[in-house]
Amino acid sequence: MADEDKEVGSKEDASEKTASQKSPLVALLLIINTVGLATVAFFQYQFMQIEASRPDLAELLKQANVTQGDELANEDRPVETISRESLVNLETFTVNLAQGDGPRRYVRLNAVLKLSSDSEIAEVEARKPQIRDTIIGILNSKRPEDILKRDGKLYLKEQIKSAINSFLIDGKVEDLFYVGFQIN
């Protein structure tokens, strides 16, 4: 029995030794963790103080607008004026696009033409069916991928302008504005 008590005692001593050996390591890790968290908290506090001292974005924009407004008032900048007489509404187009892979797709387009100052509205109004037919033909030849590309709409705009200008006699189309553009 005494031998058993010695064995039990020695097991307890061994477990106490391992527990006491681990305690300094656990304590050291706990201290390092605490110091690390305190450091992160300190830097976070410093960052928040710097951010709080920064001016508000709304204030910066107001100051920039006031400064810009003063500069614009001092400069005489030419401003393009568009008169209503130089604009022609082309109504809404609903056109099937060229068949690619997948389901049938169509484009719904509402556009306005801006004419040069020497253009006659009467000529454009008389040629409106021809203009609409030309635009429908151009749109029918386009695939959805062609129009949805980065410069697809700009290229389409230039293509429509050059096609219309090819048959106008007096004046020309200076610009084309998309009022509505939808691809389904």
Query: What pLDDT is recorded for position 134?
Result: 94
The pTM of this model reads: 0.54
Contacts with 159 (C-beta within 8 Å, 6 or more apart), sequence order: 138
Pick out the chain residues at pLDDT < 70: 1-22, 66-85
Query: What pLDDT is recorded for position 117?
Result: 82
Q: Please name the residue ranges forming H helices in 54-151.
A: 57-74, 121-126, 128-140, 144-148
Cα gap 45→50, rounded to integer Å: 9
Instruction: Decide: 110 and 180 in contact? Cβ < 8 Å.
Output: yes
Query: What pLDDT is recorded for position 85?
Result: 67
Q: What SS3 state is found at 84? A: helix
Q: Which CATH class is domain 84-183?
A: alpha beta
Query: What pLDDT is recorded for position 15?
Result: 58
Query: What pLDDT is recorded for position 80?
Result: 59
Query: What pLDDT is recorded for position 6?
Result: 58
